[in-house]
Copies of this chain bind each other. A is one copy, B any other.
Amino acid sequence: MTTQAPLINQLGVVKRNIDRANAAARDQLGQFGTATIHEAMGRVGLMKPIMRPIYPGARACGTAVTVLLQPGDNWMMHVAAEQIQPGDIVVAAVTADCTDGFFGDLLATSFMARGAQGLVIDGGVRDVKDLSAMGFPVWSKAISSKGTIKATLGSVNIPVICAGALVNPGDVVVADDDGVVVVPASIAQQVADAAKKRENLEGEKREKLAAGVLGLDMYQMREPLAKAGLRYID
């Protein structure tokens, strides 16, 4: 458990070379749901449930390019675009609560041209109809037409807190209808393996439950429940 780098002097910084998670591990993680992945990590790593996709069925998985924005200002989004590599996902945090529409179809066009898999932003987004038509998935805490300015520096590719989760540049970020999960780059393969194992088990369970077997029996819960004091009355 290393000490986090100083936060001071972090505004106005763009880190160009980041350690991206292994691409194979990233792609494996992209096959699992966020619920499965966060369970495989020990029930940690999730962003807050306020983060919602802009259209049902949205899914994305990528290595994080992080952005720290100032409220009402999306200047750094343009700086971030240049740092995107195919397979990346952009994760944007804001230094204060702000629901402005920091991102729209023009930036999405640019991000897509750079190979971005999607955007996760702890703020607002606009042009959601266009974004949906383009198939560019976004998870945000608000949808808002409100435009932003380009006047104040934030940073690109520093560690950020997005919707309650720490994201380091290069981490794998997976997002679906259920939410957004962050997998540290250094354990991406380990988590992918654990998720695989977990999902295999779920297949068997699903069949049994569909056949009418009760979880009470399948998980052998009757004894611990009785021990905990559960009583049945009529």
Say whether A26 faces chain B, with CB atoms less than 8 Å apart.
no
> Which residues, 1 to 18 on A, are CB-close (under 8 Å) to B?
1-17
19 A–B contacts, CB within 8 A, in A order: A7-B41, A10-B42, A16-B234, A34-B145, A35-B147, A46-B146, A49-B97, A72-B152, A107-B209, A107-B215, A109-B206, A109-B209, A113-B211, A150-B219, A151-B152, A153-B229, A153-B230, A161-B164, A164-B164
Contact of A191 among B8, B95, B106, B219 (CB under 8 A): B8
Q: In the complex the two chains form, what is the Cα distance from A99 to B150 in whole Å? A: 20
* A212 and chain B: residue at smallest CB distance: B113
> Which residues, 131 to 173 on A, are CB-close (under 8 Å) to B?
132, 142-147, 149-153, 158-159, 161, 164-166, 168, 170
B contact residues around A41 at 8 Å (CB): 7-8
B contact residues around A146 at 8 Å (CB): 38, 43, 46, 49, 95-96, 179
A42-B11, A98-B98, A231-B13 given as contacts; is B151 within 8 A of A33 (CB)?
Answer: no
Q: In the complex the two chains form, what is the Cα distance from A169 to B206 in whole Å? A: 28
